Structure 1
Amino acid sequence: MLLWINGPFGGGKTQTAYELRSRLPGSVVCDPEHVGFGLNRMLPPGLRGDFQDLAAWRRGVVEVLDLALTRHDGVVIAPMTVTDSGYFAETVGRLGELGHDVRHFTLLAERSTVLRRLRERGPFHLLPGAGRRTGMPRRESWAVQRLDHCLERLARPEFAEHLWTDRTTVPRTADRIAVLAGLTLTPHRGGPLRTRLRQAGVGLRHIRFD
């Protein structure tokens, strides 16, 4: 089974993916973003853009996830924002056409909620003078620029199932996905502090510098 977790940048996709992995024995996270960053690094800086516009990214994601789903005996989790319906058909849709059990979920939240999460993402908001002009680092500023577009596009029916996350936690979002996908998670362990530390660790491991 493939769990594709969609949503705006800063919407909680990666945190939810790793919460699921920690409570779903045998599962793995396969992040399609890695394919995109690799392709961009191959290009001269002036030619780099949205890697989803590269047909090689869309084909590569399908090939890699098809291999993982065929050879790995466990659930595969892919956290990735896709807002273009054509690209969605070429990736998520194509994997379903190949015969895989694909479950797609879009995490949504109010604009103010996502903005707050972006400002708090990673350790940079703790540093003096970080993001002085915008209140956040460059990558998060780019995510803000794309936020309205993401929220408008992802609210469309073709990107269901929609899960609103404003008034819930990452563990509860993972619980909801598991119920909808017919999966059984191990109990969530640890209090609020331990949960925050674990999520901070996930955030640190996924800081991008390019």
Structure 2
Amino acid sequence: MIVWLNGAFGAGKTTTANELLDLLPGSTLYDPELIGAGLRRMLPKERVGQIGDFQDLPSWRRLVADTAAALLSEVEGPLITPMTLLRREYRDEIFGALAARRIPVCHILLHAGETILRARIAERAATDGDSTRAWCLRHLEPYAQALPWITAEAHTVDTSRLTPRQTAERVATALRAGAGAVDIVQTPEPTAETVASGVLLFDECDRVLLVDPTYKPGWEFPGGVVESGEAPALAGVREVGEELGLRLDDEPRLLVVDWEPPAPPGFGGLRLLFDGGRLAAEDAASLLLPSAELRGWRFVTEEDAAGLLPPVRLDRLRCALRARRTGHPLYLEAGVPVGSRNLF
């Protein structure tokens, strides 16, 4: 298990983590900041210069989960992880990768008011210097902006009037009660190429339905990995039922087959999109989301989708909409149609 101590700089994450080591038998301090420092030293200066924070490195986010798994093969656990995490898409990526490795996470927010945070940051400046103080102060506004999603998920402990030991005792008590457990359902990471089926569902204005997964960044189409021996179209129907509580009576029509090339650590494979048809307003109103997998859904235009989908999924959607208009499915490779004619 990982006890992830989130919070602004000055909230007391590191001091609380050290106190928790005495209160949680078998626990080990796991500081992902060391991974960031190592990457800064190993990566070319040109690459490091392209980022403002090591958390912006995909390799850092990937290594956080990989290193946690490696550590838990060496120690009893839990791992105590004092690390500010303010971007929700990074939370989804890291916690989803941990869930895929069957590593449970307890998300604890250590919170203090801005006045107290500023005073603590000023105290640190005496030893850490003005540059560190300025860096910490710049993160107060992003912290305030992130509070709504963090408090909706994490168990909050107000550290304003607590010593590090008192904070750790409250965290330990909360953990024993099961507070802060992150409920993510995620299949194990693939070990070979996979086939995945997505289903496009439309409203009466021909807007397409997208869902917001809890286990990876960016929005997605309803669907999932095709199980062994399962027909891809039926897999899409199954996933729509599991994810949205919606029964599709007709087998969906194929729109796109996209070959996704391997890109380490991913293995790639075939990605299929099917046309699930239009949903009546009453059907859309009755959609049910499994909170462990999806946190939201919405109907969007193609223009809206451009601000929600990662580039490869957006390319796939645009081709699927084209195929829907023409009535001819398309074959893609890495999101790009092969040839100028339909190959089916």
Bucket of the pairwise TM-score, normalised by the shorter protein: 0.7 to 0.9
CA RMSD of aligned residues (A): 2.0
Match of 1:147 among 140, 144, 148: 140
SS in 2 for 1:107: strand
Is the 8 Å Cα contact of residues 5 and 13 (structure 2) preserved in structure 1?
yes
> Do the aligned partners of 1:7 and 1:107 also contact (CA within 8 Å) in 2?
yes
Instruction: Measure, in 1, the Cα distance between the counterparts of 2:140 and 2:153.
Output: 16
Helix, strand or coil for the counterpart of 1:71?
coil
Q: What is the number of residues matched between the two proteins?
A: 173
- Structure with the greater relative contact order (CA < 8 A, sep ≥ 6): 1 or 2? 1
How far residue 18 of structure 1 moved from its aligned partner, in angstroms, is 0.6
Output one character per residue of 1:9-67: Cα deviation in whole Å (capped at 9) or x when no partner.
12111111111113333211010011111112233163452111110000011100112
Residue type of the alignment partner of 2:140: L
Identity among equivalent positions (%) equals 37
Query: What displacement does 1:158 show?
Result: 4.5
Residue type of the partner of 1:71?
E
Within a 5 Å distance, the mapping from 1:172-183 to structure 2 comes to 172-182=166-176
Answer yes or no: is 1:51 the counterpart of 2:54. Answer: yes
* Residues 67-146 of structure 1 mapped to structure 2, 5 A cutoff: 67-121=70-124, 123-124=126-127, 137-146=130-139
Q: Which has the higher helix share?
A: 1
Q: Is the deviation greater in 51-60 or in 163-172?
A: 163-172
Aligned partner of residue 139 in structure 2, secondary structure: helix
SS in 2 for 1:83: coil
> Which one-letter code corresponds to 2:27 in the other structure?
S
Residues 125 and 133 of structure 2 are in contact (CA less than 8 Å); yes or no, is this contact kept in structure 1? no
Query: How many Å separate the matches in 2 of 1:94 and 1:46?
Result: 27
TM-score norm. by structure 2 comes to 0.47
Amino acid at match of 2:115: S
Secondary structure at the aligned position of 2:52 is classed as coil
Summarize the Cα distance change of 1:15–1:88 in structure 2 as closer, same or farther, 3 Å threshold: same
Structure 1, gaps ≥5 residues long: 126-135, 184-210
Q: Which structure: greater strand fraction?
A: 2
Partner of residue 165 from structure 2, selected from 155, 161, 171: 171
Return the alpha-carbon distance in structure 2 between the equivalents of residues 23 and 123 of structure 1. Answer: 30
2:110 is paired with a residue of what secondary structure?
Answer: strand
Q: How far apart are 1:164 and its partner, in Å? A: 1.3
